[in-house]
Amino acid sequence: MRFNEELAHIATYQAGKPIEEVVRTFGLDEKEVIKLASNENPYGTSPSVVECIKANAHKAALYPDDSMCALISRLQRHYGIGYGQCIIGAGSDQIIELCLHAKATKSSKILMAGITFAMYEIYAKHIGAQVIKTPSKEHNLTEFYELFRQHKPDIVFLCVPNNPLGECVGAKEVYELLAHIEQESCGETLVVIDGAYQEFASYKDSSKHIDPRDLIQHFANVIYLGTFSKVYGLGGMRVGYGIAREEIVQALFKLRAPFNITTLSLAAACVALEDIEFMQHTLKENFAQMRRYEEFAESKGIEYIPSYTNFITFVLENPYNSSVICDTLLRQGIIVRNLASYGINAIRITIGTQEQNSRVLLALQELV
């Protein structure tokens, strides 16, 4: 059977291995396996969310409110944005896909960092667009500007903070780049600010904080993406959102499938957004535990990328090999992310609970 020719140039996205697969492959007890590969919240989700899901379980047979009024109104209050400036997606991934289909064609160029979230490139290739990457692996905004002037891309992706590396450019520098892009493209280049980990970056360093309301007040050609999968602990519920001016949101709504978010997901997200105590606990514990990994790397002479997220990236040198280390840990029931597929000898570790991190660090101690 023949398929669209673009598929021949697309690598399948490799998600973190599920616990169930590791249990089957290595014959381990499920309780012995810890998953620190997909940047999920190790503290689960808010207890109030759990109660909400139980209370709304009887609605599982019903289609959700397709206006998503309850969640959108809460996001409007949370961010101080206006009516018609928010769209909900099945994870922020879906909003990324909608942006590509709304703006790009086969003749388009899409600009992104040398190493960044893989779905930007995958969705761009769905359309047959040309992907332009900066020479630097991390976000170098000088290179972004130079490539923007050279190629005049239809879409620019900025992952702030960046996944899978963890670095984060400052808000001031982002605004400066946005001003150049808007002026020199006459507002025709769409800039996607992926803020999946913004809560972590803002907590660690206020200079990294990007306010979606302020962002779209200043720039008509920008969309901000957020998610409930990380700090809110709803990875399994798949809820993301985009915030932009009405013109952009209305265009994306034309591509959105009806009922793209489940009834329970919408209810859970509404409650999660209001549990500030749970979010603050997650943020505090995350960076306290991250410091243990930093100290380990410093004691072993291992390079790590200062992280503004809920994970840390170790960049390895010979004789250490990321594939060998990840496979060895996997056989012990420890799932971390091998970044060899990105062309670097590195591992990414989600920051877990104190107990989980102790086990990982002990295993790494034996390996290095």
Which among 211, 229, 242, 212 is positioned nearest to 269, based on CA atoms?
Answer: 229
Q: What is the pLDDT of residues 137-175, one digit of tens each?
A: 999 999 999 999 999 999 999 999 999 999 999 999 999
b/e for 105-119, b at 16 or more Cβ within 10 A?
Answer: eeebbbbbbbbbbbb
Which tokens belong to 92?
Answer: 């922020």
47-274: which CATH topology? Aspartate Aminotransferase; domain 2 (3.40.640)
Regarding pTM above 0.75, the answer is: yes
In this structure, are residues 240 and 119 in contact, taking their beta carbons and an 8 Å threshold?
no
- In the chain, where the domains are located: 5-44+277-367, 47-274
In this structure, are residues 335 and 347 in contact, taking their beta carbons and an 8 Å threshold?
no
The pLDDT value recorded for residue 13 is 61
Q: For each successive 10 residues of the chain (368 residues), what is the average pLDDT?
A: 70 67 68 91 96 93 92 96 95 96 96 97 95 97 98 98 98 98 96 98 98 98 98 96 98 94 96 96 98 97 97 94 94 94 96 97 93
The pLDDT value recorded for residue 17 is 67
The pLDDT value recorded for residue 41 is 97
Report the distance separating Cα 298 and Cα 303, nearest Å.
8
Architecture (CATH level 2) of domain 5-44+277-367: Alpha-Beta Complex (3.90)
